[in-house]
């Protein structure tokens, strides 16, 4: 029941993906909010861009991010044979 | 597998029928309303039917099986767990308070929208799948197993109770307000009616009952939130999708703000006139405060007799009735002693100062007169977002929900469903705030005092703090600076602003009640489980038979409920601060120890204790020394508000875990094997353990 090489590779892919998604999360949330005043002149659907991001854009990105993670991890589980039905 | 999919399709059928039933019920009541049934009765029927519905589901789900009681048998499908989590998550603060906060603070209020949704990314990436694989009953369970010994578990229990209790008080407070406002019952009675129905849900069936009532509460709360906003959106834009339509309404609001702030336009000139009067009032009040500081009791007595003289004088020359009434009211409300006068006048001066400044643009981030104020606001915005997000990923009543799914895969999926169902409301709240603002700026401002919109006069007569208009410059026309709106009004009054019948108002009240009840349910169960499972079963009497464990849990639930009701009845103040505080506390105590426990094998018991204790203490100390309620009023660190104390506590927690772990021996092979067990959904030789 010790984790083998295969498991370590699975875990590394998981960490890489977690890191990448976390970076997207960070940019959508904190970087955009930090520069909110500078981005004020851009317009999306009638909204100033920072307002759109904080009220809608970021939420949609979070949703996509969580959906992608659930889907991709399911695939990864199968690929490495660590899925629950394996 | 087959049994599970049959179970799922059965659930879908039941809840579709239920949703149809709810809509049918609303239609039936609106027919009754047309037939002339009085509003008060409709309100009673609405609250009575929904509350007994929840209680009914609670009774049907009664159980004496441990796994059913603590984790709903671990067979809740991802979709339904998503709904239950959403109801568990969205409290009275989200349902009633959020749109109001957004109305008042514009862009800066969006910190709550992002913070309360973005946290689910952290739940998905760092916690939900791993906790599900671990597969026990509570969050302290994980700390106990991962770090060994009773120390980490005990701190976990303490932190879980601390933040859940802070949070539950805010819920019960909201509950009491809603029940008392819509039925006319006393606040205290409202609290006990609400609590009674909470107990009915969770007392007999634990997590199982809470799960299935929360799903039904979600349906009611989302329907109640959406109907009036969609209606309002159609009214102003002709588009039934408010989330898309309000961008253009926002443009109009922004244009209107410019007009009202520009003293060269006729509307702007009238606003400027009112602001001038308010500014004068503020200066006068400040002068009185200075005189009070100098003269003390004597000055107060002189002022009081001056007011009394005014009343007598007005009477003598038979002045207009409302003028006399105003003067009498001022005399009646005159503060009793110096301390009370100081507080009241300070609040008055502050309110006038706010209303006499130009309108802050709704869509402008971090508005402020100078660079320093703007920077300050930006800093606090980001800090608040961070604390709310990390707190989301650490609140035990939310994390506990991910123990109830059938598998790791379902747990990941269920985070997605949760976030989707939560986002429905959070995408709508900013739209509601803008639509309501449009209504106020264009329809209310500029209308004449003799024919105010009916919702304005209706709410102004209920509660002056929620809605107040007074003709300050006596020109007979409403100016924005003459309108005072309390945040909670926005959601409560939307049906009337949109011109919908009273039934929809009652539906909104039922929605707010569902939001408060579902959150309070989850929280009380968390507290009772921490005490019965972690303290009694795991630490005091590990041999206790099942029957006694559940009996103790149910008994504790009663005790917790009574304590919570008692504390709530003392009305300990600001709801938003209490909710925010719970997030900062949870984030500081749990997040570092939980995440490092999964992602860093080297983390050990000493580290966990050091991290949890230091994170939690820093957070609590900062709140204690800076939040005005406690009266210490120490200077802020880097200007961070006390609500975001977690910005110091959370990093401190990480540092504590790392330093404590590095300085002591690595964890045993058995613990490292547990970490592997948690990391992989299925690892060879696993089957025996995953059957639990």
Phi, psi (degrees; rounded to nearest 5) at B544: -60, 135
Alpha-carbon distance B89 to B282, whole Å?
41
What residues in chain B have per-residue pLDDT under 50?
685-692
Using CB atoms and an 8 Å cut-off, which of residues 277-336 of chain B contact chain A?
none
Indicate the length of chain A as a whole number: 86
Using CB atoms and an 8 Å cut-off, which of residues 354-413 of chain B contact chain A?
363-366, 374, 378, 381-382, 385-386, 389, 407-409, 412-413
Locate all alpha helices (DSSP H) within B106-237, ordered by sequence: 110-122, 128-134, 139-147, 150-183, 187-237
CB spacing of B117 vs A59 below 8 angstroms: yes
Alpha-carbon distance B348 to B335, whole Å?
12
Q: What is the DSSP letter of B665?
A: P
**C-alpha distance from A79 to closest chain B C-alpha (Å):** 12
Instruction: Report the DSSP pairing between strands A43-44 and B467-469.
Output: unpaired
Cβ burial of B425 (10 Å; 0-12, 13-18, 19+) is buried
**C-alpha distance from A30 to closest chain B C-alpha (Å):** 7
CB spacing of B409 vs A34 below 8 angstroms: no
What range does the domain containing B12 cover? Answer: 1-37
Alpha-carbon distance B621 to B644, whole Å?
12
Nearest chain B residue to A73 by CA: give it: B409
Cβ of residue B437 closer than 8 Å to a chain A Cβ? no
- Helix (H) and strand (E) counts for chain B? 28, 2
CB spacing of B121 vs A21 below 8 angstroms: yes
Residues of A in contact with B250 (CB under 8 A): 46-47, 51
What range does the domain containing A52 cover? Answer: 5-79
**How far is C-alpha B154 from the chain's CA centre?**
28
List beta partners, residue A44: A47
Is B15 domain-assigned?
Answer: yes
Residues of B in contact with A73 (CB under 8 A): 129, 409, 412
Residues of B in contact with A59 (CB under 8 A): 113-114, 117, 423, 426-427
CB spacing of B125 vs A33 below 8 angstroms: no
Whether residue A1 has pLDDT greater than 70 = no
Phi, psi (degrees; rounded to nearest 5) at B463: -155, 115
CB spacing of A62 vs B113 below 8 angstroms: no
Whether residue A3 has pLDDT greater than 70 = no
What local confidence, expressed as pLDDT, does residue A79 receive? Answer: 83
Alpha-carbon distance B501 to B505, whole Å?
7
CB spacing of A54 vs B409 below 8 angstroms: no
CB spacing of B683 vs A1 below 8 angstroms: yes
Is B28 domain-assigned?
Answer: yes
For residues A8-32, average pLDDT: 91
Cβ burial of B566 (10 Å; 0-12, 13-18, 19+) is exposed
Q: What is the value of pTM for the model shown?
A: 0.87
CB spacing of A66 vs B126 below 8 angstroms: no
Is A86 domain-assigned?
Answer: no
Indicate the length of chain B as a whole number: 692
Is B263 domain-assigned?
Answer: no
Alpha-carbon distance B673 to B73, whole Å?
26
Is A84 domain-assigned?
Answer: no
Q: Which of A3, A40, A59 sits opposite B426 (nearest CB)?
A: A59
Mutation pick from A11, A15, A45, A56 vs chain B, by most beta carbons of B within 10 Å, is A56
* Tokens standing for residue A40: 């004020």
Cβ burial of B544 (10 Å; 0-12, 13-18, 19+) is middle
Locate all alpha helices (DSSP H) within B35-126, ordered by sequence: 39-60, 66-71, 78-89, 92, 98-105, 110-122
CB count in 10 Å sphere of residue B371: 8
CB spacing of B416 vs A70 below 8 angstroms: yes
Alpha-carbon distance B384 to B549, whole Å?
39
How much of chain A is helix, strand and coil, in % rounded to 5?
Answer: 75, 5, 20
Nearest chain B residue to A40 by CA: give it: B364
**C-alpha distance from B257 to closest chain A C-alpha (Å):** 15
How much of chain B is helix, strand and coil, in % rounded to 5?
Answer: 80, 0, 20
The total domain count for chain B is 1
What local confidence, expressed as pLDDT, does residue B692 receive? Answer: 36
Are B476 and B449 spatial neighbours (Cβ–Cβ below 8 Å)?
yes
Could you report the per-residue pLDDT of B126-145, keeping only the tens digit for each? 998 898 888 888 888 888 88
Residue B687, C-beta contacts closer than 8 angstroms, at least 6 positions apart:
none
CB spacing of B107 vs A83 below 8 angstroms: no
Angle between helix B187-237 and B39-60 (nearest 10): 110
Alpha-carbon distance B51 to B26, whole Å?
15
Is B18 domain-assigned?
Answer: yes
Is A56 domain-assigned?
Answer: yes
Nearest chain B residue to A81 by CA: give it: B682
Whether residue A77 has pLDDT greater than 50 = yes
SS3 (DSSP) at B406: coil
Residues of A in contact with B599 (CB under 8 A): 15
The total domain count for chain A is 1
Angle between helix B139-147 and B575-599 (nearest 10): 30
Q: Can you say whether the dihedral through the CA atoms of B657, B662, B663, B668 is positive or negative?
A: positive
What local confidence, expressed as pLDDT, does residue B572 receive? Answer: 63
């Amino acid at each position: 029941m010790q984790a083998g090489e295969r498991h370590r590779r699975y875990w590394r892919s998981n960490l890489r993906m977690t890191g990448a998604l976390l970076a997207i999360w960070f940019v959508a949330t904190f970087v955009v909010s930090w520069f909110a005043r500078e981005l004020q002149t851009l317009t999306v659907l009638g909204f100033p861009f920072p307002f759109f991001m904080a009220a809608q854009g970021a939420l949609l990105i979070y949703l996509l991010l969580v959906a992608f993670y659930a889907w991709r991890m399911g695939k990864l589980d199968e690929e490495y044979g660590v899925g629950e039905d394996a | 597998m087959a049994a599970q999919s049959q179970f799922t399709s059965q659930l879908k059928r039941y809840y579709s029928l239920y949703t149809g039933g709810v809509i049918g019920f609303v239609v039936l009541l609106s027919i009754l309303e047309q037939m002339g049934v009085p509003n008060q009765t409709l309100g009673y029927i609405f609250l009575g039917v929904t509350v007994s519905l929840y209680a009914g589901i609670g009774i049907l789900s009664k159980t004496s099986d441990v796994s059913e009681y603590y984790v709903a048998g671990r067979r809740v499908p991802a979709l339904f767990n998503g709904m239950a989590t959403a109801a568990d998550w969205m409290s009275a603060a989200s349902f009633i308070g959020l749109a109001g906060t957004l109305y008042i603070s514009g862009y800066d209020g969006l910190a709550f929208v992002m913070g309360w949704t973005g946290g689910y990314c952290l739940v998905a990436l760092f916690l939900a799948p791993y906790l599900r694989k671990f597969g026990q009953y509570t969050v302290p369970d994980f700390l106990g197993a991962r770090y060994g010994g009773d120390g980490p578990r005990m701190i976990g229990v303490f932190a879980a109770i601390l933040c859940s209790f802070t949070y539950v008080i805010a819920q019960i407070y909201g509950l009491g307000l809603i029940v008392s406002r819509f039925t006319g019952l006393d606040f205290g009675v409202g609290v006990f009616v609400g609590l009674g129905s909470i107990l009915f849900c969770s007392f007999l069936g634990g997590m199982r009952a809470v799960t299935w009532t929360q799903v039904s509460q979600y349906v009611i709360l989302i329907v109640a939130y959406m109907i009036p906003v969609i209606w309002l959106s159609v009214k102003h834009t002709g588009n039934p999708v408010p989330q898309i339509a309000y961008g253009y309404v926002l443009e109009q609001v922004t244009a209107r703000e410019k007009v009202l702030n520009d003293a060269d336009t006729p509307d702007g000139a009238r606003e400027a006139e009112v602001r001038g009067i308010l500014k004068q009032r503020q200066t006068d009040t400040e002068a009185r405060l200075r005189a009070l500081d100098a003269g003390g009791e004597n000055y107060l007595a002189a002022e009081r007799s001056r007011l009394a003289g005014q009343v007598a004088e007005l009477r003598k020359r038979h002045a207009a009735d409302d003028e006399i009434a105003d003067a009498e009211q001022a005399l009646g409300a005159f503060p009793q002693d110096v301390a009370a006068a100081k507080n009241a006048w300070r609040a008055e001066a502050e309110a006038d100062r706010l209303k006499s400044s130009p309108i802050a643009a709704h869509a402008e981030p971090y508005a402020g007169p100078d660079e320093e104020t703007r920077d300050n606001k930006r800093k606090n915005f980001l800090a608040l977002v961070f604390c709310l997000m990390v707190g989301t990923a650490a609140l035990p009543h939310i994390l506990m929900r991910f123990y109830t799914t059938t598998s790791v895969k379902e747990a990941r999926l269920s985070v997605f469903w949760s976030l989707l169902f939560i986002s429905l409301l959070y995408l709508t709240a900013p739209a509601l705030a803008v639509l309501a603002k449009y209504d106020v700026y264009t329809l209310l401002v500029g209308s004449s005092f003799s024919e105010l919109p009916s919702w304005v006069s209706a709410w102004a007569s209920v509660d002056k703090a929620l809605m107040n208009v007074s003709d300050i410059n006596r020109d007979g026309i409403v100016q924005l600076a003459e309108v005072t709106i309390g945040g909670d009004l926005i959601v409560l009054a939307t049906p009337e602003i949109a011109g919908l019948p009273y039934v929809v108002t009652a539906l909104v009240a039922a929605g707010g009640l569902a939001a408060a009840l579902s959150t309070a349910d989850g929280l009380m169960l968390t507290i009772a489980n921490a005490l019965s499972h972690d303290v009694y079963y795991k630490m005091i009497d590990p041999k206790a038979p099942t029957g006694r464990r559940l009996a103790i849990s149910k008994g504790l639930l009663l005790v917790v409920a009574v304590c919570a009701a008692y504390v709530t009845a003392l009305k300990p103040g600001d709801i938003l601060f209490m909710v925010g505080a719970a997030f900062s506390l949870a984030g500081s105590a749990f997040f570092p120890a939980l995440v490092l426990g999964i992602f860093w094998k080297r983390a050990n018991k000493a580290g966990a204790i050091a991290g949890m204790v230091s994170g939690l203490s820093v957070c609590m100390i900062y709140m204690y020394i800076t939040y005005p309620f406690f009266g210490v009023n120490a200077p802020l660190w880097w200007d961070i508000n006390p609500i975001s104390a977690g910005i110091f506590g959370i990093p401190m927690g990480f540092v504590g875990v790392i330093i404590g772990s590095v300085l002591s021996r690595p964890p045993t092979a058995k613990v490292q094997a547990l970490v592997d067990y948690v990391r992989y959904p299925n690892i060879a030789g696993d089957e025996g353990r995953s059957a639990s």
